[in-house]
A and B are shown apart, each in its own frame.
Chain A
Amino acid sequence: MAMHRGRGFASINYPIGMNLGGDPSQALVHSNPDGKFTVALSSIDLGQGMKSVTRQIAAETLGIPVADVYVDTADSDTGPHCMGSFASRGTHRVGNAVIQAAQEARAVMLEAAAEELEVDASDLVTDGRGNIHVKGAPSRSITTMAACQAAQFKQGRTVSGRGIFLIPLSEVDPDTGEMTPVSCFAHAAMLVEVEVDDETGEVSVLDMQSAYELGRALNPKLVEQQLIGGAWMGMSHVLWETTEPYYPDRSHGPVDFNHYLMPGPGDLAPHHISVLERPAPDGPFGGKGPGEMCANPVLPAVANAVYDAVGVRIDDLPITPEKVLRGIRANGGARPKMRLPRAR
């Protein structure tokens, strides 16, 4: 009896946003008299960082420090409509709505500044640190706070903006399936190394090498948490999880985390991630959405690695030790393939 190592590969793409469009999101942005901005949304922060990424997008667009922006979300009395946080749509759809709202508010702020500085608003730029100045003449400047105060108390302007982002609804042709599904795609490739015990059928994931292309990484730390967590989830789907272990039979359904199996910390494999950024033409600052797609390549890559290690194809998930062992026995023993050797 022996341990067998194998490597498996998979590559995928993933559509961003509700498939056929028709999923609007709105944003409202306004300043208080001190030049501190509130972004009102009704989008949901599931832990993925919705509030944080829209805050950065608003700050970038307004041209002010991120500390001067607060995102208030998901009170239906104050937040404008949003379809919700699903379908990898949050950053893409809400981000674009925030840009539109912030651009409108920024335009008013610059008009207010222009009136104070007695220049044309189109000659003004922001430095991202709380100042507005004449392009090429940094000394002719006003703080964003002073501009917003002037707007509020002297000029009677609302430094505010409205934004919506809507990909128009696509139809689907019943006869051919012709449709306009989504506007941009994220990509991934994954190489997994596993070790299979031909006595117990147990599979251990030893190493994951990945490349994810997800448009611009708007916040690299939020991207990292998604990719690490998502790959863990993919590994869990392929080797452990199911609500119906004997599907389609409904028996033995797990009712708690003692029976709903998932990998623990000791089962985690080192994951070497490379991020590629090809900006989406219609994404907020080119962002797509890493949230959903990051789990997907792991499932087939592990299945392919198990085949590479012991020559058993498991096409029914999850790949349990029982299935592996039955496969090895049916083949009369492990038959390693080694189809992805390391170059010498």
Chain B
Amino acid sequence: MIEFRKEFFANERDDNLNEIGKPTRRQDILGHVTGRSPYFDDHLFEGLLHIRCVRSPHHHARIRRIDISAAEKMPGVVRVLLGKDVPRNLNTLLSLLDFGLDDEPVLSETKVAYKGEPVAAIVAESEAQARAAVLAVKVEYEALPHVLDVEDAVKPGAPVVCGIYPTNKFIYHGKFDHQKLRYGDVEEAFSRADHIVEGRYQMSPIEQAPMETCGAIAAPEINDRYVCFTSTQGLFFSLGTAAKLLTMPSSRLHFVGGTVGGGFGGKVDSMHEPLAILGAMLTGRPCKYAWDREEEMQVGAPRGAERWYIKDGVARDGRILARKFTGYFDSGAYTRLSSYAIIKGVGHLPGPYTIPNVYADVFCVYTNRTPATAMRGFGITGVDFAIEAHMDKVAEAVGLNPIELRILNSYRDGDMKAHRRTAKNCALVECCQVVAEKGGVALSPASRAATSLIDGGGERGRLPARTATDQNGAVSGYRGGSYGKKGGGASAMQPIRMPTPTDAARAPQRPAAPAYQPPAASPPSAPPPAPAMETPRHGALRFSSLSGFRRR
């Protein structure tokens, strides 16, 4: 079933190591096979309370009134949590990296933007009592028009999903309503291509489906701290998010995790830890907040849908001269990680091929559905499906064997990539050759002789003589590079915030009036020295320049 083809790249490896390369048994295997490895849900404290959320039945609605009086009187109900109970009820996941604007409440207070959005949380003695009390919360909604299709959402006059982004598009670099990739001139290349091949591809939303659903158990710890057992994929990521939302110094939080029943990207959103800790803070008792399978599948963030349009200009011999992408990521009602997935996807274009002219416009679009997040293959799986299904069409258009087409266009060491960095450590050609051999597919002598190690570089390693750029999708009203100075929360995040060169540079220009600081937060320390940066050519280098901006 599996073979290791050690003859490839053998001169680049020392295969005589003591421990590396050995099929050593897992450190945790004994605990796993005997069922004794502790997961978050094995910390069932005496007197544990259970949290269940009241969720929107509407795709999009204004909240007129939330009446919790009946629910509070239900058996076993200890507390009902509302948005006003969350110390800082607005966050965007990547704010810990200064990326994007806070856009999503823990518990919505004024409107809901997707079916399943939480508006209140019941804390009760048992899960059954919490479920019963959820039904007793009366929420008065005023339904609003909604939009579910990405291309409908970007049309003028579409319902506004998330008021922070009024055109339903994330704003990149404070400058454009999409992420651009411009390399060479695709239109010029199309005009001299022998074939034009076009396609439209739709990646479906997909659930990460871990065996263990997402959750956390929090409890008051001695000395005014809180312990939180969690299924998170990023321990300090979740800790930092909780510290921000609860305006609590991170030193008062003790997070324990590390043994997780599958993640696949679905356990980075840090939805459970803040609410479980808040429950523990307000009741003084241990609280568990975990999704059931239905929540995991329908309100837990999936891999978002993606729609891609691809247009190729191809020479008669099968060489791809130009490739143009238009992409729409369906972010759902809030940003979570979709904006970042797009940058990753754009850096990946045009796939593992050397194409001299590449163009992409990729949009992060808000729709009235469950927010999307990370999943195995983040930013890549959807566009790889599109690219490789498209390659099959190109192969047919030029009458080439699909494997030969890949080898012909494959990137090799020394080639220039569309994001303007040199390819190295390539191995696509060899993978194609091995599979052709195993599958009994006859290759031409040229394809058999090809290698990633040579034939690259030279002319293929040069930047295009000219690149066509444009100002399409330019926006105004956003300022680049200043997001990190938004008031609140920042000091709680200070220990894990990215140091950036512009922090120091901008300091003297800060207004005299101090920014709002949440109570009980420690004063921010001076930014540590900036990390060395490559290619500092474009001025501002802070991570927020990606997104990054504050609304004027």
The interface of chain A, by Cβ under 8 A from chain B, is: 7-15, 19-20, 22, 41-47, 49, 51-52, 55-57, 59-60, 63, 65-66, 70-71, 73-77, 79, 81-87, 128, 166, 168-182, 184-185, 187-191, 209-213, 216-222, 224, 227-228, 230, 233, 237-238, 241-244, 247-250, 253-257, 260, 262, 270-281, 285-286, 291-293, 295-297, 299-301, 303-304, 307, 313, 315-318, 337, 339-343
Contact = CB atoms under 8 A, between A and B. Distances in A.
Contacts of A304: 388-389, 392, 402
B2 A227 contact: yes
Given A60-B19, A318-B204, A52 B427 contact: no
Given A73-B258, A87-B374, A275-B2, 8 more contacts: A46-B260, A74-B256, A172-B546, A180-B419, A216-B21, A272-B438, A296-B377, A300-B385
Interface of B: 1-6, 8-9, 12-13, 17-28, 59, 97, 115, 148-150, 172-173, 175-176, 179-183, 199-207, 209, 232-237, 239, 253-265, 267-268, 293-294, 297-298, 302, 305, 330, 340, 343-344, 346-348, 351-352, 360, 367, 369-370, 374, 376-381, 384-385, 387-389, 391-393, 395-396, 401-403, 406, 410-411, 418-421, 424-428, 430-432, 434-436, 438-442, 467, 469, 496, 498, 500, 531-535, 538, 540-541, 543, 545-546
Contact of B202 (A179, A233, A254, A315): A315
A82 B207 CA distance: 25
Contacts of B183: 176-177
Contacts of A254: 207, 297
Given A20-B546, A274-B5, A343-B441, A168 B533 contact: yes
Contacts of B403: 9, 189, 191, 340
A10 B467 CA distance: 30
A271 B439 CA distance: 12
Closest 3 CB pairs of A and B: A74-B258, A84-B234, A181-B347
Given A85-B263, A219-B22, A278 B258 contact: no
A272 B204 contact: no
Contact of B236 (A82, A216, A273, A278): A82
A253 B298 contact: yes
Given A176-B420, A248-B149, A299 B234 contact: no
Contacts of B2: 220, 224, 227, 273-275
A75 B183 CA distance: 46
Contacts of B258: 41-45, 73-75, 79
A128 B18 contact: yes
A253 B297 contact: yes
B388 A301 contact: yes
A315 B442 CA distance: 28
B235 A273 contact: no
The residue among A220, A227, A278 with the most chain B CB atoms within 10 A of its own CB is A278
Contact of A281 (B425, B442, B534): B425
B327 to A, nearest CB: 12
Contacts of B402: 8-9, 304, 339-340
20 contacts: A9-B402, A42-B258, A44-B260, A45-B259, A46-B262, A56-B24, A63-B18, A65-B18, A76-B236, A169-B531, A177-B360, A178-B419, A180-B535, A216-B21, A221-B24, A256-B294, A276-B434, A297-B388, A300-B388, A315-B202
Nearest to B395: A339
B534 A180 contact: yes
A149 to B, nearest CB: 22
Contact of B543 (A51, A86, A169): A169
Given A44-B257, A177-B179, A342-B439, A85 B27 contact: no
A221 B428 CA distance: 23
Nearest to A212: B431
Nearest to B10: A277
B434 A189 contact: yes
A254 B130 CA distance: 23
A285 B15 CA distance: 10
Contacts of A79: 235, 258
A12 to B, nearest CB: 5
B377 A295 contact: yes
A47 B262 CA distance: 6
A221 B507 CA distance: 52
A196 to B, nearest CB: 16
A189 B432 contact: yes
Contacts of B305: 244, 247-248
Nearest to B302: A243
B4 A299 contact: no
Contact of A210 (B294, B424, B435, B545): B435
A314 to B, nearest CB: 9
A82 B235 contact: yes
Interface core residue of B239, B352, B442 (most chain A CB under 10 Å): B352
B183 to A, nearest CB: 7
A209 B26 contact: no
B431 A11 contact: yes
Nearest to A52: B26
B19 A237 contact: no
A156 to B, nearest CB: 30
B308 to A, nearest CB: 9
Nearest to B114: A250
B484 to A, nearest CB: 13
Contacts of B391: 10, 300
A169 B376 contact: no
B205 A247 contact: yes
A291 B265 CA distance: 11
Contact of A86 (B149, B209, B268, B393): B268
Nearest to A318: B204
Nearest to A253: B298
A36 to B, nearest CB: 13
A44 B532 CA distance: 28
B13 A216 contact: yes
B173 A174 contact: yes
Given A11-B431, A243-B207, A71 B380 contact: no
